[in-house]
């Protein structure tokens, strides 16, 4: 199942030939292309159905490559890279000449990170260049955390799928903009705000969902097919009941400590007590409830601290307004 050396070489060949490779990272599976090949990068947008103005993350094999890919690396970026790479932290910096505008959605900044996954790192080493990779799902949908999710969702549209097993982190990277005077979090993710603040030694603002212009922050992203309804934990069971009486097939997401009473739902997921396990399982159980035919998922958000901040962010986006028509 897990990629072998021959698979890595094959995948590197596909990238060199301008193809698309789905690759495992510690966060979610990515849909990768040679970052320096504008045609290959454009294909990513086609396959995902993602608007071309929405920038991608460039994945690098190690932090030493930073200066080749970005201009003017500030000391703060070096500090964060040294502390958190390889790992689920993406830094937004000034675009270097190697990065085509196709990869940045036309922006003069570029998002870069070094992923912490042995298969991703082996591919990046074999390939030698940068790999642009958004999550390997259709635009707006739930991100894949296993190779099977990728195959189910993208099928033949991807030239090669590298299997690296289930993703350990399970939610996307934290994106930090380090182009300004003070760093700011553009998207909460696998590296917690608290861990960043400890290194930076100052508090970081987390954007409200309305003020941010990155696609991961738009209404209805990371969304299952089922409509997601968020309520306070005390209201979970009554909301599920109400939805069921209204004729819906309800998936209910229960907090770890909730009592085992009979619940008015077609499918019930009890979230794990540890936030690490919750993040790891989040997208899998949203998919699972879709597969069980639920058309409504009733859930509540966890406390917004540690990984709970990223989990709450994804649930709120999943519950965001859907495009109509
Ligand atoms: P994805 O990999 O599809 O989960 O999304 C990549 C995320 O990185 C998106 O939210 C992008 O908007 C964000 N991103 C990539 N490049 C930039 C950039 N130059 N400035 C701000 N955000 C970026
Ligand atoms: Mg995505």
How far, rounded to the nearest angstrom, does the alpha carbon of residue 97 sit from its chain's CA centroid?
26
Q: What's the average model confidence in pLDDT over 10-15?
A: 98
Residue 86 CA, ligand 2 centroid: distance in Å: 20
Residue 98 CA, ligand 2 centroid: distance in Å: 23
Answer whether residue 307 shows pLDDT above 60: yes
Ligand with minimal distance to 54 CA: 1
Q: What's the average model confidence in pLDDT over 260-286?
A: 91
Nearest protein Cα to ligand 1, atom 10: 216
Residue 9 CA, ligand 1 centroid: distance in Å: 28
**207-222 as b/e: b if 16+ CB within 10 A:** beeeebebbbbbbbbb
In terms of Cα–Cα distance, which of 61, 50, 179, 158 is closest to 114? Answer: 61
Residue 261 CA, ligand 2 centroid: distance in Å: 36
Cis (ω within 30 of 0) for the bond into 100?
A: no
Nearest protein Cα to ligand 1, atom 5: 134
Ligand with minimal distance to 215 CA: 1
Pocket of ligand 1 (CB under 6 A): 54-57, 92, 104, 107, 109-111, 134-135, 172, 175, 186-187, 214-216
pLDDT tens sequence across 39-95? 999 999 999 999 999 999 999 999 999 999 999 999 999 999 999 999 999 999 999
Label residue 106 exposed, middle or buried (CB < 10 Å: 0-12, 13-18, 19+).
Answer: exposed
Nearest atom in ligand 1 to 30's CA: 2
Answer whether residue 209 shows pLDDT above 80: no
pLDDT tens sequence across 139-175? 989 999 999 999 999 999 999 999 999 999 999 999 9
pLDDT tens sequence across 227-257? 999 999 999 999 999 999 999 999 999 998 7
Q: How many CA atoms lie within 13 A of 83 on its CB side?
A: 16
The model's pTM: 0.94
Residue 55's alpha-carbon distances to 169, 186, 191, in angstroms, are 22, 13, 20
Answer whether residue 217 shows pLDDT above 60: no
In sequence order, the 6+-apart residues with CB closer than 8 A to the CB of 277 are none
Cβ of 154: how many Cβ atoms within 10 Å?
Answer: 20
Nearest atom in ligand 1 to 90's CA: 8
Return the best residue to mutate from 77, 92, 100 for the ligand 1 pocket (most ligand atoms within 8 A of CB).
92
Residue 218 CA, ligand 1 centroid: distance in Å: 12
Backbone Cα Rg of the chain: 20
Answer whether residue 325 shows pLDDT above 60: no
Residue 324 CA, ligand 2 centroid: distance in Å: 20
Return the best residue to mutate from 175, 178, 187 for the ligand 1 pocket (most ligand atoms within 8 A of CB).
175
Residue 35 CA, ligand 1 centroid: distance in Å: 14
Start-end of CATH 3.90.870.10 domains in the chain: 5-200
pLDDT at 211: 42
3-state secondary structure of 136: coil
Spatial separation of the C-alpha atoms in residues 6 and 225, rounded to whole Å: 36
| CATH topology for the 5-200 domain | DHBP synthase (3.90.870)
In sequence order, the 6+-apart residues with CB closer than 8 A to the CB of 90 are 57, 111, 112, 113, 173, 174, 175, 176, 189
For residue 209, the 8-state DSSP code is G
pLDDT tens sequence across 94-135? 999 999 999 999 999 999 999 999 999 999 999 999 999 999
Spatial separation of the C-alpha atoms in residues 116 and 118, rounded to whole Å: 7
3-state secondary structure of 92: strand
Nearest protein Cα to ligand 1, atom 12: 214
Residue 74's alpha-carbon distances to 66, 92, 177, 183, in angstroms, are 11, 11, 11, 11
Answer whether residue 212 shows pLDDT above 80: no
For residue 73, the 8-state DSSP code is -
Report, at the CATH architecture level, how domain 227-318 is classified.
3-Layer(aba) Sandwich (3.40)
Start-end of CATH 3.40.50.11030 domains in the chain: 227-318
For residues 261 and 253, the model is more confident at 253
Nearest protein Cα to ligand 1, atom 1: 134
3-state secondary structure of 153: helix
In sequence order, the 6+-apart residues with CB closer than 8 A to the CB of 6 are none
pLDDT at 28: 98
């Amino acid at each position: 199942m897990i990629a072998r050396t021959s698979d890595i070489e094959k995948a590197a060949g596909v990238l060199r030939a301008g193809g698309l490779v789905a690759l495992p990272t510690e966060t979610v599976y990515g849909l990768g292309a040679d970052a320096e090949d504008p045609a290959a990068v454009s294909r990513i947008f086609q396959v995902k159905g993602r608007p071309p103005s929405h920038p991608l993350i460039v994945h690098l094999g190690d932090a030493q490559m930073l200066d080749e890919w970005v201009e003017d690396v500030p000391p703060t970026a070096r500090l964060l890279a040294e502390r958190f790479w390889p790992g689920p932290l993406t830094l937004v910096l000034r675009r270097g000449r190697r990065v085509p505008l196709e990869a940045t959605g036309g922006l003069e900044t570029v998002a870069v990170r070094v992923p912490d996954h042995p298969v991703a790192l082996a591919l990046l080493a074999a390939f030698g260049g940068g790999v642009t990779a958004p999550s390997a799902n259709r635009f707006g949908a739930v991100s894949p955390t296993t190779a099977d999710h990728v195959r189910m969702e993208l099928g033949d549209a991807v030239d090669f799928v590298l299997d690296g097993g289930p993703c350990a982190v399970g939610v996307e990277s934290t994106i930090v903009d380090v182009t300004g005077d003070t760093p700011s979090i553009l998207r909460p993710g696998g590296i917690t705000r608290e861990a960043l603040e400890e290194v930076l030694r100052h508090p970081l603002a987390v954007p409200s969902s309305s003020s941010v212009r990155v696609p991961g922050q738009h209404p209805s992203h990371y969304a299952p097919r089922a409509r997601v309804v968020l309520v306070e934990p005390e209201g979970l069971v009554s909301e599920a009941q109400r939805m069921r009486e209204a004729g819906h097939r309800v998936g209910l997401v229960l907090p770890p400590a909730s009592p085992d009473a009979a619940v008015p739902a077609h499918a019930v997921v009890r979230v794990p007590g540890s936030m690490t396990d919750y993040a790891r399982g989040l997208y899998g159980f949203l998919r699972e409830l879709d597969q069980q035919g639920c058309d409504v998922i009733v859930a509540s958000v966890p406390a917004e601290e540690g990984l709970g901040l990223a989990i709450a962010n994804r649930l709120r986006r999943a519950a965001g307004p859907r495009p109509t028509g």
